[in-house]
Amino acid sequence: MRIDPSLCIRCRGAKGLCGLPYCPVFVKAKVKAYSEAVAGRREVSGSSPPSVFVGRVGWPKVRVYPSVPPISGDTSSLEDPKAWLHMSLEDFLASRLILARGSLELDVRSARSPGRALSDVQALALSPRPADVELTLKRPLKPEPLLDEHVPPLGPSSPLLSLKIGSLPPPERIVEKAYEDVDLPAAEAVWKLYNYGVDVHRISRFLSVGAIGVGRRRRLVPTRWSITAVDKQISDRLVEEIKRLPPIDRYYVYVRKTKGNTFVALLAPGGFMYEWGEAWFPGTTWNQYGASPEVEVDWEGPRGRTTYPSIGGCYYAARLAAAEALHAMGRQAAAVLWREIYPGFDLPIGVWYVRENVRAMFRERPEKFDDLGEALKFIASQLKLPLDLWYSRSHIVRLLRSARL
């Protein structure tokens, strides 16, 4: 995207005149100081949040990347989606792109009997707090970040020559037990850790490095797969409990607006159903060159799904947030969630953005309606696309309207 220089002069990063939800000048300035500190270097040391990424290219051989920023101290916010939610997009991108990565190529089955290097990586992944890490790399780092639809942004990488980890704080007892219990299936470990209060972002990291599950079945799991697997497994359990709860008795509408996005949710009386829809406007991440908004919707009825949703991991990230909200309410409902993404939101930053924004949306007080038509009229006032376009793609709203008629 080419920006008119006169806009930058008038805006100076404060008015958003270019239409982007972030200021590229600020991002460049924030990242520059750190990238210059590591560019061309073969040694990077600092406090890992902790951070470990597992790639998927070449499966069943994958690259495992312990990551560290060139700063020391409390770096925990670099791996905390709850903290990211309150950062500006400039600060978020800058904080993530300074994570230098050293890569190890391993067979996914090596988690069943990890060698020294993988054992060290697993210990780092289990740590509840930042740890001192030193990476020695085979080749100098180049400023080539990783941007992906599913995972948060990451900084440059190079093959790892050696990994040195300082003293690690011991993991919580529940985490240690899950790691040591080689008879506990991964799905059960995920559910136990979640119920104990361990954040899903950490749980997906444990699963990714092969630190949980039945011993003979443990394996390395690409990070983008582990994130979706954890969102799905936990929301599946919550949904099964939700289906035994009484339904809500009115229509609830939630709205959340962020820079470049609008999220809405409709909870309708009845048995559990779920729908997630996205509308990507021209000039956004997945509609860079289109002339009109592209709308995609996936859904499930009371019996769930038998196929993977074409809309991708955001489906399960939002489903987890919706299931948590219903579970906390002690009610079931038909849940319709839609997201509009506006021009300028053109960087893939990970499904955490959907999960945490939907969680935040459900923490707000909803508008309540006795009539479906009134609820939909209110939703129409919050969205930019005509409601008829959403109707044409929605499965559950059509069901609700036909049942009402």
Predicted pLDDT at 249: 96
pLDDT of 162 above 90: yes
* Per-residue H/E/C for 308-354: CCCCCCHHHHHHHHHHHHHHHHCCECEEEEEEEECCCCCCCCCCHHH
368-387 pLDDT, tens per residue? 999 999 999 999 999 999 99
The tens digit of pLDDT for each residue in 23-32 reads: 766 666 655 6
CA-nearest of 141, 60, 128 to 99 is 141
Q: Work out the angle between the directed axes of helices 186-196 and 200-208 (0-180°, nearest 10).
A: 150
In 3D, which of 231, 240, 312 has the Cα closest to residue 272?
A: 240
pLDDT band at 149 (very low <50, low <70, confident <90, very high): confident
| Residue of higher predicted confidence among 49 and 97 | 49
Q: Which of 3-17, 314-328, 380-394 has the lowest mean pLDDT?
A: 3-17
Q: What is the mean pLDDT of residues 142-159?
A: 82
Tell whether the model's pLDDT for residue 347 goes beyond 50: yes
Q: How far apart are CA 263 and CA 277, in angstroms?
A: 10
Mean local confidence (pLDDT), 304-322: 94
3-class secondary structure per residue, 100-134: EEEEEEEEHHHHHCCCHHHHHHHHHHHCCCCEEEE
Q: Is the pTM of this model over 0.85?
A: yes
State the pLDDT confidence band at 205, using cuts at 50, 70 and 90.
very high
Taking a C-beta distance cutoff of 8 angstroms, is the pair 94, 71 a contact?
no
225-237 pLDDT per residue, tens: 999 999 999 999 9
Is residue 68 a contact partner of residue 40, using CB atoms and an 8 Å limit? no
Q: 63, 43, 36: which is closest to 52 by C-alpha? A: 63
Residue 361 in contact with residue 262, Cβ under 8 Å? no
In this predicted structure, what is the pLDDT of residue 37? 61
Q: How confident is the model at residue 405 (pLDDT cuts 50, 70, 90)?
A: very low
CA–CA distance, 146 with 151 (Å, rounded to integer): 9
Phi and psi at residue 289, to the nearest 5°: -120, 5
Q: Is 310 exposed, middle or buried (0-12, 13-18, 19+ CB in 10 A)?
A: exposed
Cα 281 from Cα 188, distance rounded (Å): 40
Which residues of 90-245 form beta strands (DSSP E)? 100-107, 131-137, 157-165
Of 59-63, 146-150, 247-251, the least confident: 146-150
* Count of alpha carbons within 13 angstroms of residue 304, beta-carbon side: 15
pLDDT in tens, 63-115: 999 999 999 999 999 999 999 999 988 788 888 888 999 999 999 999 999 99
SS3 of 273-318: the string is: EEEEEEEECCCECCECCCCCCEEEEEEEECCECCCCCCCCCHHHHH
- How far is residue 135's CA from residue 399's CA, in Å, rounded to a whole number? 56
